[in-house]
Amino acid sequence: MDSSATTRRLQHLSRHFKASNITTPPVRVTVTGAAGNIGYALVHMIGQGRLLGPNQQIILTLLELPMAKDQLEGTMMELRDCAFPLLKEIKGTTQYDQGFMGCDIAILVGAKPRGPGMERKDLLAANARIFKEQGEALEKYASRNVKVLVVGNPANTNALITAHFAPSIPKSNFTALTRLDQNRAQSIVAQRVSANVEDVRNIIIWGNHSTTQFADVSQATVQQNGISYTVRGLVADDAWLQKAFVEQVAKRGGAIIEKRKASSAASAASAVCDHIHDWLIGTDNGTFVSMGVITDGKLYGIKEQVCFSFPCICKDGNIKVVEGLKWDQFQQSMIDKTLKELLEEKEMALSVVIPK
Ligand SMILES: NC(=O)C1=CN([C@@H]2O[C@H](COP(=O)(O)OP(=O)(O)OC[C@H]3O[C@@H](n4cnc5c(N)ncnc54)[C@H](O)[C@@H]3O)[C@@H](O)[C@H]2O)C=CC1
Ligand SMILES: O=C([O-])CC(=O)C(=O)O
């Protein structure tokens, strides 16, 4: 057996499960929709240290709708019964002021999920108002440095709405979850080339968390027996990489809904932990992670303000988009398509939350 791989696995295990040496002040984390499908899985992963590592205590607030009060109380009972040492306090509320007061990290999951046959943007009419309200509440009650991750669909456009209604919080503090798409893509490639999933690096998800997203392997590598190969070279099938692979990643959420009759929950919660962990703890040397970030008029020539998924590196709690990657004609056409959809969603969202 490869001993460096064993060492890596053991280091990984000890990072996740050795909850000792607790030194820094607790961080205030709020999860909305905490008693739902994803929320239930997520709050337990947070208790296990998946969000900020094994040494960081957390004051965890679970925010729910009044109609889900019983489910909220049940979830809190179980969370307490886990006796997680990292959870310094567990609070539950159905009020925005109590939910977001002084919060450092807001994970906005609470929203309606889609059913079979729907696109995520079909949820805009139902969900856009939630994110307007939550933007307003963050503006009033959260820390000015709050880091916000929007999960509720359509996640990119909901992140844009949330940021719009919290104007005194920097736009760079608002993100949307596309890490689940990245993880799916990494896993599909690892299976295809018989590699360990952690040895597949730098697959990029560009654009929208929707069926127009573009899973791009042009920068991706696979480490095997100490040698780095390009994914393109190892797969040696551009036709598959440009079509079947991209579609499989983009339609994975829908495929899971068909089977489970409910949308992805544990995998979404796990991707939330990966996203926040990498944002705040930092990315490994040279590794990109995909995140929906709000464009500033300069990134990759995108003039309009949208929440677009880019390759990012993170250090000291800051996200830096990896700039200067060149696109060929195929990549450009994929990126144009997903940007066009985001602009259409933005138009639709504005008509719901800012009626004329
Ligand atoms: N970005 C991504 O990668 C993914 C996004 N999603 C999206 O996440 C969202 C949640 O999915 P599930 O947990 O499966 O749904 P769910 O219906 O099981 O749970 C949603 C929970 O949110 C609560 N909620 C609704 N409005 C709220 C509000 N204003 N404040 C606080 N809580 C509120 C509900 O009471 C419910 O408990 C959906 O929009 C889904 O499409 C799901 C998977 C992946
Ligand atoms: O597909 C859905 O509606 C849920 C989701 O966002 C995903 O699983 O990626």
Task: State in Å: Cα 127 to ligand 1 middle.
Answer: 9
Residue 12 has pLDDT above 50, yes or no: no
Separation between Cα atoms, residue 309 and residue 36, nearest integer Å: 25
- CB burial readout 225-235, b (16+ within 10 A) else e: eeeebebeebb
Residue nearest to atom 2 of ligand 2 (CA): 253
| pTM for this predicted structure | 0.94
Q: What is the pLDDT of residue 115?
A: 84
Enter the ipTM: 0.99
Residue 22 has pLDDT above 90, yes or no: no
Q: Which of 317, 272, 294, 343 is nearest to 108 (CA)?
A: 272
CA dist 14 → 7, 18, 158, 273, 310 (Å): 11, 5, 36, 17, 31
Residue 111 has pLDDT above 60, yes or no: yes
Q: What is the pLDDT of residue 121?
A: 84
Q: What is the pLDDT of residue 356?
A: 61
φ, ψ at 77 (rounded to 5°): -60, -45
Residue 192 has pLDDT above 60, yes or no: yes
Residue 268 CA, closest ligand 1 atom number: 44
Mutate to test the pocket of ligand 2, among 153, 183, 184, 251 (most ligand atoms within 8 A of CB): 153
Cβ proximity of 151 and 180 under 8 Å: no
Mutate to test the pocket of ligand 1, among 95, 97, 109, 165 (most ligand atoms within 8 A of CB): 109
Across the range 306-335, mean pLDDT stands at 97
